């Protein structure tokens, strides 16, 4: 796999956004960002309203994903180009989510909304009118999704990468620093987890660092490229960004995203927790 | 839990400018505005870097050029990015129960 299989740049978007079979999709942490302006032709996915089950803590099911993409006018054969703010944090999550339901033709706009805005490229408010489709999803590919028991049994056996900030890893903060800090669960990290904050994989403008820089980043942190890997964060979105780096850019086999992440693990009764900066 | 914090604590979905906060409560808040020639900068990003220079959090600027972070106590660097290659750093120290206000002109 090469970068062009999973990433496009802004010039590619300008050249191909009107091609049949290409659909731009914005997914943002700030779900109102799309409404203020988006790349011409892009449709919106709301990571919470559209992608999360409204009652249970889980994703929408296969039928729900089929209904969602059909309603947004996305076909099985379409190449979906995802982008969003905050270094593609939520766009990378949507990428993983599309892969989870078996949509192979999906790529990220490198740098996402931030680089697009910082380069003063055009944003519009006009919402495209895409005719509905009959989208068919696959069963979830659980080879890329980790559940809590796998995380507990991975302690000391697999790479566990905690991609939160160092203060969250150590237990000094319970959420990213742009959110209020009250939470129900305990602070700390899964014992043996290596702390490689997700954002270290991106440059200031949100583009991904080079493969060599990425390998050095994870290697220096003690990640063993010869064994399986589970990445986690607080609710599974920042770790989807790291999953993208490890699995899609670096081509590591057997990388899973633990979307339950710290809000689940830190609330489990009886599991081991490590406090402080050490793994 | 304060009522202002409750609205956003369930998810990661912070709005542009950062999550709302009426008062600091038990938070260590760093907030402020970015201006250019006295007018708010509406297209841009505020990033919070830790004492090691590593990225910790980022928000797009609000319509009033505003940003807000809920930090841990200690020393931080606020970095503003805006179109035209603007990149401005400011040092700031956060403390529990206090709001540290920054005005950044670019």
For A233-253, the DSSP string reads -SSSSHHHHHHIIIIIIS--S
Q: Which of residues 173-192 of A touch B (CB under 8 A)?
A: 173, 175-183
Q: Per-residue b/e over A215-244, b at no fewer than 16 CB within 10 Å?
A: bebbeeeebeeeebbbbbbbbbbbbbbbbb
pLDDT at A175: 84
pLDDT at B45: 93
What is the Cα–Cα distance from A246 to A253, expressed in whole angstroms?
Answer: 8
pLDDT at B6: 31
Query: What does the DSSP 8-state code read for residue A273?
Result: -
What is the Cα–Cα distance from A167 to A234, expressed in whole angstroms?
Answer: 13
Task: Please tell me which residue in A42, A92, A230, A233 is annotated as part of the active site.
Answer: A233
What is the Cα–Cα distance from A235 to B14, expressed in whole angstroms?
Answer: 14
pLDDT at A179: 76
Is A48 a known active-site residue? no
Cβ(B101)–Cβ(B32) below 8 Å = yes
Using one digit for the tens of pLDDT, what is the confidence trace for A84-102?
Answer: 988 999 999 999 999 999 9
**At residue B14, does pLDDT exceed 90?**
no
Distance in Å, alpha carbon of A255 to nearest chain B alpha carbon = 23
3-state DSSP assignment of residue A55: coil
Using one digit for the tens of pLDDT, what is the confidence trace for B25-69?
Answer: 788 999 999 999 999 999 999 999 988 888 888 889 999 999 999
Distance in Å, alpha carbon of A200 to nearest chain B alpha carbon = 7
ipTM for the complex shown: 0.75
Contact call for B55 and A200, based on CB within 8 A = yes
Q: Which of residues 42-61 of B touch A (CB under 8 A)?
A: 43-45, 47-48, 50, 52, 54-60
Cβ(A91)–Cβ(A31) below 8 Å = no
pLDDT at A192: 97
pLDDT at B22: 66
What is the Cα–Cα distance from B23 to B29, expressed in whole angstroms?
Answer: 9
CB contacts < 8 A (A, B): 114
Distance in Å, alpha carbon of B8 to nearest chain A alpha carbon = 7
Q: A46 and chain B: CB distance < 8 Å anywhere?
A: no
By residue count, chain A amounts to: 279
pLDDT at B5: 34
What is the Cα–Cα distance from B28 to B11, expressed in whole angstroms?
Answer: 19
pLDDT at B53: 83
Q: A111 and chain B: CB distance < 8 Å anywhere?
A: no
Cβ(B67)–Cβ(B86) below 8 Å = no
Task: Name the stretches of chain A with pLDDT < 70.
Answer: 181-182, 184
Burial of B43 per CB tally in 10 Å (0-12, 13-18, 19+):
middle
Q: A121 and chain B: CB distance < 8 Å anywhere?
A: no
| Sign of torsion over alpha carbons A116, A118, A120, A123 | positive
What is the Cα–Cα distance from A91 to A76, expressed in whole angstroms?
Answer: 19
**At residue B17, does pLDDT exceed 80?**
no
């Amino acid at each position: 796999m090469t970068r062009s299989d999973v990433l496009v740049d802004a010039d590619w978007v300008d050249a191909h956004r009107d091609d049949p079979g290409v659909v731009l999709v914005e997914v943002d942490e700030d779900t109102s960002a799309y409404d203020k302006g988006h790349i011409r032709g892009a449709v919106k996915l709301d990571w919470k309203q559209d992608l999360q089950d409204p009652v249970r803590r889980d994703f929408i099911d296969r039928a729900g994903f089929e209904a969602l993409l059909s309603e947004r006018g996305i076909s099985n054969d379409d190449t979906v180009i995802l982008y969003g703010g905050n270094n593609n944090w939520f766009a990378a999550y949507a990428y993983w989510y599309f892969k989870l339901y078996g949509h192979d033709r999906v790529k990220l706009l490198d740098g996402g909304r931030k680089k697009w805005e910082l380069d003063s490229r055009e944003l519009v408010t006009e919402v495209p009118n895409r005719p509905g489709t009959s989208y068919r999803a696959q069963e979830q590919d659980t080879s890329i999704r980790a559940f809590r028991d796998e995380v507990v049994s991975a302690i000391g056996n697999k790479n566990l990468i905690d991609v939160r900030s160092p203060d969250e890893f150590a237990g000094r903060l319970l959420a990213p620093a742009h959110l209020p800090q009250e939470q129900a669960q305990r602070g700390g990290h899964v014992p043996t987890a290596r702390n490689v904050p997700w954002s270290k994989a991106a440059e200031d403008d949100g583009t991904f660092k080079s493969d060599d820089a990425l390998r050095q980043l994870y290697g220096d942190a003690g990640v063993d490229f010869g064994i399986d890997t589970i990445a986690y964060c607080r609710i599974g979105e920042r770790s989807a960004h790291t999953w993208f780096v490890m699995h899609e850019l670096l081509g590591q086999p057997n990388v899973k995203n633990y979307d339950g992440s710290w809000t689940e693990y830190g609330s489990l009764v009886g599991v081991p927790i490590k406090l402080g900066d050490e793994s | 839990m304060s009522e202002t914090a409750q609205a956003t604590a369930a998810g990661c979905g912070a709005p542009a400018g950062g999550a709302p906060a009426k008062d600091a409560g038990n938070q260590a808040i760093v907030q402020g505005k970015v201006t250019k020639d006295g007018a708010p900068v509406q297209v841009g990003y505020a990033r919070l870097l830790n004492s090691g220079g590593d990225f910790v959090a980022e928000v797009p600027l609000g319509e009033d050029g505003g940003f807000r972070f809920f930090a841990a106590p200690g020393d931080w660097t606020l970095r503003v990015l805006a179109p035209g290659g603007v990149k401005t750093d400011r040092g700031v120290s956060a403390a529990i129960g206090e709001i540290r206000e920054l005005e950044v002109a670019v």
